Amino acid sequence: MTAPPLLDESTAAFVQDAVSIGAASRGAGDLPVLARASGCRVAPDRRRVALYLARSQSAALIDAVRATRAVAAVFSLPSSHRSVQLKGVDAELGPPQAGDFESAGRYIEAFAAELEPLGFSGELARALLWLEAQDLVVLWFTPSAAFSQTPGPGAGAPLRPAP
């Protein structure tokens, strides 16, 4: 029997929403390396997650993922602070598929709209996450662990696999 996917439909929708996405791995000396993702795509079966990265801004993370295949990603909705962390040990980098650059563009616009009511200009988000089509690289991984990271008494609690 195949285990159910770790992400339920609600969590899969959440990580693809207008959330802040931070990706991390470990570099030389096990020091953390971080990069911002410019969007996310979850496979239809909810077993794999793709993060959109700007190659030019994510070189250290890309090198670390190539060396370790380990990745952790935090998805946080600024207006509510709802946060989820996903970890994987099989990360791999690949080229974008058809529609990925457009998906990243929609994400950037949605994230900008999420930040504006909080007093941040949309230009800030656009500048922070800006990328060009030829700079886009996709980091795929299978979530092997998932946690609620929303501040409060449930922070750090493991997410249960979908039924």
Query: Residue 18 sits in a domain of what CATH number?
Result: 2.30.110.10
Indicate whether 109 belongs to any domain. yes
Indicate whether 111 belongs to any domain. yes
Indicate whether 2 belongs to any domain. no
Indicate whether 4 belongs to any domain. no
**The predicted structure's pLDDT at residue 154:** 87
**The predicted structure's pLDDT at residue 160:** 79
Closest by CA to 60, choosing from 86, 104, 24, 91, is 24
Closest by CA to 142, choosing from 124, 127, 161, is 161
**The predicted structure's pLDDT at residue 99:** 95
Residue 149, by phi and psi: left (phi above 0), alpha (psi -120 to 50) or beta?
A: alpha
Dig out the tokens for 26 from the structure.
């470990």
Q: What domain count does the chain have? A: 1
Alpha carbons 125 and 128: distance in angstroms, whole number: 5
Alpha carbons 73 and 51: distance in angstroms, whole number: 9
Indicate whether 155 belongs to any domain. no
Indicate whether 54 belongs to any domain. yes
**The predicted structure's pLDDT at residue 81:** 95
Indicate whether 30 belongs to any domain. yes
**The predicted structure's pLDDT at residue 68:** 96
The pLDDT profile of the chain, 163 residues, written as one tens digit per residue, is: 688 888 999 999 999 999 999 999 998 888 999 999 999 999 999 999 999 999 999 999 999 999 999 999 999 999 999 999 999 999 999 999 999 999 999 999 999 999 999 999 989 889 989 999 999 999 999 999 999 998 898 889 888 765 5
**The predicted structure's pLDDT at residue 162:** 56
For CA atoms 146, 66, 97, 113, the dihedral sign is positive
Domain membership of residue 85 as a residue range: 9-148
Distance spanning both ends of the chain, measured CA to CA? 13
> For the whole model, what pTM was predicted?
0.94
Count Cα neighbours of 84 within 13 Å in the Cβ-side half-sphere: 19
**The predicted structure's pLDDT at residue 163:** 58
Indicate whether 131 belongs to any domain. yes
